[in-house]
A and B are shown apart, each in its own frame.
Chain A
Amino acid sequence: MTVALPTSTRPTVIEVNDLVTHYGARRILDGVDLRVQQGEILVIMGGSGSGKSTLLRHLLALEKPTSGRISLLGHDITQMNQFELYALARKMGVAFQGGALFSSMTVGANVMLPLREHTKLDHGTMQIMMRLKLEIVNLAGFEHLMPSELSGGMIKRAAFARAIIMDPALLFCDEPSAGLDPVVSAALDELILRLREALGMTIVVVTHELESAFRIADRITVLDGGRILATGTVDEIRGSSNPRIQNLLNRRFEEETLDPDAYLARLTGEGAPVR
């Protein structure tokens, strides 16, 4: 179920221009452009090594790009100092792949942490808000457990609760369905859709799960080798004639054209043969 939204009339909340990044000498992202409108669910797709996780880390200002501009809610985060970034972070929520719950705190304390750090609310109010968010992610009554006592799916849901505790304008999800069984994964997709509907968030999801992407996305961006192959609605991406996209969609293994000389050189461990 994909809700077609008149996104064109809404303000742009995420804008990436010509983003280039390196890891050492290796180029990871190569001229990435991206726009996300308010209230939209954008799914960033791509195989392993496509640069999708790197792109997410840059959107979260966890890395500094080589060049390019990343604007979140109208602020260029590549030009912001530490304190401006901390202030902006209050309007953002992030659900990390492994949950990244603090293992020394209970689930409740984890979910309440942003409130405790950024607001002056009294403890009772914070607890009510924490339970409210745990209700939303179907974890009511689990606030006294430690993260180690939760299953993988529950950890992810608790991480969602922590990500949305401040009612952020932007929500980022890293591989929400990775490593989960199909039922739990479908429940998380449903949760993402509900969050957008109920709280009007703009949501960016990084995933390599096709089913999940088609289910939740308003638009999909396909990354490949650090470049954007295509950006479009679910139907546009499905109907794309680009062979690489079709390979990704049909889970087709891409056979590399075999160069016998290079193959031999790889096997013998020598450099590329002189021709």
Chain B
Amino acid sequence: MAEARPTAVLRLLERLGRASASGLEAVGFGATLLSDSFWWIAQGRRHGQVVRAAPVFAEMMAIGVRALPIVTLLSGTIGLMLALQGIYSLRQFGAEQQVVLGVALGITREFAPLITGILVAGRSGSALAARLGTMTISNEIDALRVMGVNPVRFLVVPSLLALLVMLPCLVLWSELVALAAAGVYVAGELSTTFGVYVQQVNRAVTVSDLMHGLGKTAIFSVLIALVGIIDGSAVKGGAEGVGRVTTNAVVHSIAAIVFTDMLFVFATTR
């Protein structure tokens, strides 16, 4: 047994090393994809590879508009939940009148971007990975290349642009719905009016709070697009492989969103 331990440690180290190397590789690939995407947006026309508007709008429809019902439902629920919890905890020292500040800042700075980001990662990041994975195993990416069509310009750019536009829109909508749902409960529970609640929210939330939420939303959009594409194009094997990369994409993008969120808050609020 004594001589088994070093090999186990070595094996663990080797796995750690391999994981780090592949992680670094993915980060490098992501950076290349991102810079390539912006290069094609700017220079594509000069090289006869135009980024077309129609696929961007189609993606915006799929990523943004079709997500509206579920975003609305979840945001309303979370707004209500925050108001409930806020009043419950503040009542312990008789400060429930301050609940609006907590709810308004919590929603605009944290909850709306995070929940919407996670939701879109689950809906669209996975769809992106599944599509890229399927296209890779059925030679569709090769077909694009031999047709002289750049896959980054044709497949990556529309999704990236659509996410960059639609995710902030969804987050703004989510903030509105969550604040309204919280307001309905707060106004009833604290016996004020909805109008007073709106005034209090107006006083509590500044432009910089909104920008804090939207700023990280922009980063989330890029993360969801890149993780979906990197995981999707790493597909191996057949249909089972596509299932695996789809799961990976959801897990990785949600992890990336939460982790980036923490870093963003750490860097901007201290």
Q: Do A and B bind each other?
A: yes
* Residue pair A100, B142 in contact (C-beta under 8 Å): yes
Does more than half of chain A's interface fall in helix, strand or loop, or is it mixed? mixed
* Residue pair B145, A102 in contact (C-beta under 8 Å): no
* Residue pair B48, A118 in contact (C-beta under 8 Å): yes
B49 in contact (CB, < 8 A): yes
Q: When each residue 129-143 of chain B gets 1 if its CB lies under 8 Å from chain A and 0 otherwise, what string results? A: 001001100111011
B47 in contact (CB, < 8 A): yes
Which residue on B lies nearest to A114, using beta carbons? B147
Q: Min CB distance, A76 to chain B, in Å? A: 17
**Range of interface residues on A (Cβ < 8 Å):** 20 to 34
Tell me, in angstroms, the Cα distance from A172 to B142 when the chains sit together.
13
Contact partners of B131 in chain A: CB under 8 A: 104
* Residue pair A97, B47 in contact (C-beta under 8 Å): no
* Residue pair B142, A113 in contact (C-beta under 8 Å): no
A117 in contact (CB, < 8 A): yes
A90 in contact (CB, < 8 A): yes
B6 in contact (CB, < 8 A): no
Tell me, in angstroms, the Cα distance from A97 to B142 when the chains sit together.
12
Q: Min CB distance, A131 to chain B, in Å? A: 19
Tell me, in angstroms, the Cα distance from A85 to B135 when the chains sit together.
21
B146 in contact (CB, < 8 A): yes
B101 in contact (CB, < 8 A): no
Tell me, in angstroms, the Cα distance from A61 to B146 when the chains sit together.
8
Which residue on B lies nearest to A92, using beta carbons? B146
Which residue on A lies nearest to B153, using beta carbons? A117
Report if A62-B134 is in contact (Cβ < 8 Å); known contacts: A86-B49, A87-B148: no
Q: Min CB distance, A96 to chain B, in Å? A: 5
* Residue pair A94, B146 in contact (C-beta under 8 Å): yes
Q: When each residue 30-72 of chain A gets 1 if its CB lies under 8 Å from chain B and 0 otherwise, what string results? A: 0000000000000000000000000001001110000000000
B150 in contact (CB, < 8 A): yes
Report if A117-B147 is in contact (Cβ < 8 Å); known contacts: A83-B47, A103-B134: yes
Contact partners of A60 in chain B: CB under 8 A: 142, 145-146
* Residue pair A86, B142 in contact (C-beta under 8 Å): no
* Residue pair B148, A62 in contact (C-beta under 8 Å): no
A225 in contact (CB, < 8 A): no
* Residue pair A117, B148 in contact (C-beta under 8 Å): yes
* Residue pair A96, B147 in contact (C-beta under 8 Å): no
Contact partners of A88 in chain B: CB under 8 A: 148
Contact partners of B146 in chain A: CB under 8 A: 60-62, 89, 92, 94, 172
Partner of B145, one of A62, A101, A117: A62
* Residue pair B139, A100 in contact (C-beta under 8 Å): yes
Contact partners of A94 in chain B: CB under 8 A: 143, 146-147
Tell me, in angstroms, the Cα distance from A104 to B158 when the chains sit together.
15
Interface residues of B in 81-140 (CB under 8 A from A): 131, 134-135, 138-140
Q: Min CB distance, A179 to chain B, in Å? A: 14
B149 in contact (CB, < 8 A): yes
Which residue on B lies nearest to A91, using beta carbons? B148
Tell me, in angstroms, the Cα distance from A57 to B139 when the chains sit together.
11
Partner of B148, one of A90, A98, A100, A103: A90
Contact partners of B140 in chain A: CB under 8 A: 100-103
Q: When each residue 144-187 of chain B gets 1 if its CB lies under 8 Å from chain A and 0 otherwise, what string results? A: 01111110000000000000000000000000000000000000
Tell me, in angstroms, the Cα distance from A97 to B143 when the chains sit together.
11
* Residue pair B143, A86 in contact (C-beta under 8 Å): no
Q: When each residue 105-138 of chain A gets 1 if its CB lies under 8 Å from chain B and 0 otherwise, what string results? A: 0000000011001100000000000000000000
Contact partners of B47 in chain A: CB under 8 A: 83, 86
**Which among B138, B145, B148 has the greatest number of chain A C-beta atoms within 10 A?**
B148
* Residue pair A85, B148 in contact (C-beta under 8 Å): yes
* Residue pair A97, B147 in contact (C-beta under 8 Å): no
Which residue on A lies nearest to B148, using beta carbons? A89
Tell me, in angstroms, the Cα distance from A28 to B142 when the chains sit together.
20
Contact partners of A113 in chain B: CB under 8 A: 147, 149
Contact partners of B149 in chain A: CB under 8 A: 86, 113-114, 117
Report if A86-B148 is in contact (Cβ < 8 Å); known contacts: A96-B139, A102-B140: yes
Contact partners of A57 in chain B: CB under 8 A: 142
* Residue pair B138, A86 in contact (C-beta under 8 Å): no
Which residue on B lies nearest to A57, using beta carbons? B142
Tell me, in angstroms, the Cα distance from A92 to B145 when the chains sit together.
11
Contact partners of B139 in chain A: CB under 8 A: 96-98, 100
Chain B contact residues, CB within 8 Å of chain A: 47-49, 131, 134-135, 138-140, 142-143, 145-150
Given contacts A96-B142, A117-B148, 8 further A-B contacts (CB under 8 A): A57-B142, A62-B146, A86-B47, A86-B48, A90-B148, A104-B131, A117-B49, A117-B147
11 sample A-B contacts, Cβ–Cβ < 8 Å, listed by A number: A60-B142, A62-B145, A83-B47, A86-B150, A89-B146, A89-B148, A94-B146, A100-B140, A100-B143, A102-B135, A102-B143
10 A-B pairs with least C-beta separation:
A89-B148, A100-B143, A86-B148, A100-B139, A94-B146, A96-B139, A60-B146, A100-B140, A114-B147, A117-B149
